[in-house]
């Protein structure tokens, strides 16, 4: 209950305070390339319930039909505005709407697409899906440059499934075992520091 109130308060404040930034980003996306401002994709939420995640669009129109689900290195589908938004994680801001709707939390395991959830070991899948997915967590901080890492792999899809995903799942379980108000606060601050470090 306390976590939900925490999420609602800070997500609501974020939506209000960042409204001018949202408008600037929306105008830039529309000016930069044809297509909608937002990108929506099916992800798996708490208890395995599917939902559609919000992001600012960072790729060309119909990008998923033109390539893999993973974004790898200097993906040619990424727009000019999209490259900036991705670098500073600004494309994730619309997920505050998912938090207000109760589909996500500020902190929690990152929501995956059904394809990758199906690869989780059964016992760990149940643990990970027992909480709301989040905008940030240990794995988000550790793999803040995941696209670059995958861009250096000979087979990005295989590298993600065999090398990165198992480590991420470990981080997800660790968060669930340790979660508390103070852990959430620490991870939010660590995320802001990690983003600021890219400037």
Q: How far apart are CA 39 and CA 56, in angstroms?
A: 6
Beta-carbon contacts of 149 under 8 Å, excluding residues fewer than 6 positions away, are: 143, 159, 164
**Residue 83 sits in which domain range?**
2-196
Number of domains in the chain: 1
Pairing of strands 105-107, 134-136: parallel
Residue 71 has pLDDT above 80, yes or no: no
Q: State both tokens at 59.
A: 């790729």
Report d(CA 90, CA 151) in Å as an integer. Answer: 21
> What pTM was computed for the model?
0.89
Give the pLDDT score at 69: 62
Which two structure tokens, joined as six digits, stand for 106?
A: 């500020």
**What residues contact 188, with CB distance under 8 A and at least 6 apart?**
106, 107, 136
pLDDT in tens, 103-156: 999 999 999 999 999 999 999 999 999 999 999 999 999 887 777 777 777 787
């Amino acid at each position: 209950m306390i976590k939900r109130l925490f999420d609602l308060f800070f997500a609501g404040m974020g939506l209000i305070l960042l409204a001018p930034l949202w408008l600037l980003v929306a105008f830039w996306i529309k000016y930069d390339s044809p297509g909608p401002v937002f990108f929506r994709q099916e992800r798996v939420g708490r208890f395995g319930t599917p939902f559609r995640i919000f992001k600012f669009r960072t790729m060309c129109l119909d990008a998923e039909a033109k390539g893999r689900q993973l974004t790898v290195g200097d993906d040619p589908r990424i727009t000019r505005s999209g490259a900036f938004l991705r670098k500073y994680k600004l494309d994730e801001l619309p997920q505050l709407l998912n938090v207000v709707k109760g589909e996500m939390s500020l902190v929690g395991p990152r929501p995956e697409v059904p394809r990758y959830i199906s690869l989780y070991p059964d016992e760990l899948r149940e643990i990970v899906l027992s909480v709301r997915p989040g905008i940030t967590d240990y794995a988000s901080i550790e793999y803040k440059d995941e696209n670059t890492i995958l861009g250096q792999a000979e087979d990005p899809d295989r590298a993600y499934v065999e090398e990165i995903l198992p480590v991420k799942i470990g981080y997800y379980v660790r968060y669930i075992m340790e979660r508390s108000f103070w852990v959430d606060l620490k991870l939010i601050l660590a995320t802001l520091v990690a983003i600021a470090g890219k400037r």
